[in-house]
Amino acid sequence: MARPVVAIVGRPNVGKSTIFNRVIGDRLAIVEDKPGITRDRLYAPGEWSGKLFSIVDTGGIEIDGEDEIMKSVRMQAELAIEEADVIIFMVDAMAGLTHADDEVAHMLFRSRKPVVVAVNKVDNLRRTDEIYEFYSLGFGEPIAISGAHGTGIGDLLDAVVRKLPELEDIEYEDDVIRVALIGRPNVGKSSLVNAILGEDRVIVSHVAGTTRDAIDTPFEKDGQKYVLIDTAGMRKRGKVYETTEKYSVMRSLKAIERADVALILINGEEGIIEQDKHIAGYAHEAGKASVFVVNKWDAVEKDEKTMQNFEQHIRDHFLFMSYAPVVFLSAKTKSRLHKLLPVVDHVSEQHALRIQTHLLNDVVADAVAINPPPTDKGKRLRINYVTQVAVKPPTMVIFVNDPELMHFSYQRYLENKIRAAFDFEGTPVRIVTRRKSEAD
């Protein structure tokens, strides 16, 4: 099920990134006492009172900023607002209510989204009275918080989750493979859907960002049932921005969460850009089976080494996803299209593959015999046994004498040995190290 989205917005330097980090329990956003540090939106999963959501940290909105960076920041914030289900409107108790706050409030009123006003920098009880002027913003009771001290965050999140919508997931049968087409706008997602289906089921345009909502399209081929989830391109009402590659993330996230297999589309004409890495990284972090699909291959000038060189280019840029196969095709001409669904079937099987415990332990025991764990300060890692505890993605728990002795390089070595024995092509493999207890 796609998580509802909570966006943190406000003018610069009110403490949005500090609150973002408090909510997710990590220092993902850069925090510095200087306006304009957070430029692009940051996304992370959040949870409160049993409710899951995605939280977005945006750059500060400067209504009057006219330089290109501030225009981009304002644009990003507007797009986050458009995607959000609930908005946290951050203001500053020390600065008081400003003209810029009023301008942001007008923007939020136009969005017609639920808004919770968070008054930051209420660092002591004497400042509590300073929140009352923010009632005039018109969004109900402001909530006093302190990002620096962590106070009031629970009250803020209580108010947020009360406004979160109840999302209904579409139920599909267990044997259906849900395939999300993800990628920056104008890489040919909608065209690929149409090519697979053999009919124009999704509107296709040369203008980036014309797909408005995620579209589920069930179909069946050779006895296998699929659902194609075409992710919408990001857009601004009345205008499509040239820098659209920055704005495809949120809808890709929503589609990834509901998918079994992610098709990561890359424009064969343009090659790989940084945004492709971001989008692929979300599929990897979500534990989804993945396939790189290089589209528009018909438009690429080729020799006998072009495909090999392009695949190596992908491997060099996506080192963290060496497990994902690469398919070259053209949605426009349907060249090589027949190769795609068999690969989807294969990686979906690997994603759901479960290995018997004794076979897994045999492979790990052989790996340890060939290359014993190194010592660390006179202590040596001892592996007791390993078992698979989950699928989608395959997740292994390795019980050891001391988890701190498991170096990431040795864990990667074990993962590589497991992959060599059991394939797992197209799927991440999660390895968790735990201390063996008496109960185990």
**356: region left, alpha or beta (phi > 0 left; psi from -120 to 50 alpha):** beta
279 annotated to a ligand binding site: no
Q: In the numeric block, which tokens belong to residue 361? A: 């332990």
194 annotated to a ligand binding site: no
The candidate with the shortest Cα–Cα distance to 346, out of 323, 363, 330, 313, is: 323
Q: How many CB atoms lie within 10 A of CB 375?
A: 10
9 annotated to a ligand binding site: no
Tell me the CA distances in angstroms from 309 to 34, 72, 203, 290, 304, one per residue in order.
44, 35, 33, 20, 10
Number of H helices, E strands in the chain: 11, 17
Q: What is the DSSP string of 111-127?
A: HT--EEEEEE---SGGG
295 annotated to a ligand binding site: yes
231 annotated to a ligand binding site: yes
246 annotated to a ligand binding site: no
10 annotated to a ligand binding site: yes
15 annotated to a ligand binding site: yes
String of b and e for 380-403 (b: at least 16 CB within 10 Å)? ebebebbbbeeeebbbbbbbbeee
297 annotated to a ligand binding site: yes
61 annotated to a ligand binding site: yes
230 annotated to a ligand binding site: yes
306 annotated to a ligand binding site: no
190 annotated to a ligand binding site: yes
The candidate with the shortest Cα–Cα distance to 58, out of 76, 85, 31, 36, is: 76
123 annotated to a ligand binding site: yes
188 annotated to a ligand binding site: yes
Which amino acid is it at 198? G
185 annotated to a ligand binding site: yes
13 annotated to a ligand binding site: yes
48 annotated to a ligand binding site: no
Taking the CA atoms of residue 144, residue 147, residue 153 and residue 156 in that order, the dihedral angle to the nearest 10 degrees is 50
205 annotated to a ligand binding site: no
232 annotated to a ligand binding site: yes
154 annotated to a ligand binding site: no
74 annotated to a ligand binding site: no
12 annotated to a ligand binding site: yes
189 annotated to a ligand binding site: yes
58 annotated to a ligand binding site: yes
* Known binding-site residue numbers for GTP: 10-17, 57-61, 120-123, 183-190, 230-234, 295-298
* Known binding-site residue numbers: 10-17, 57-61, 120-123, 183-190, 230-234, 295-298
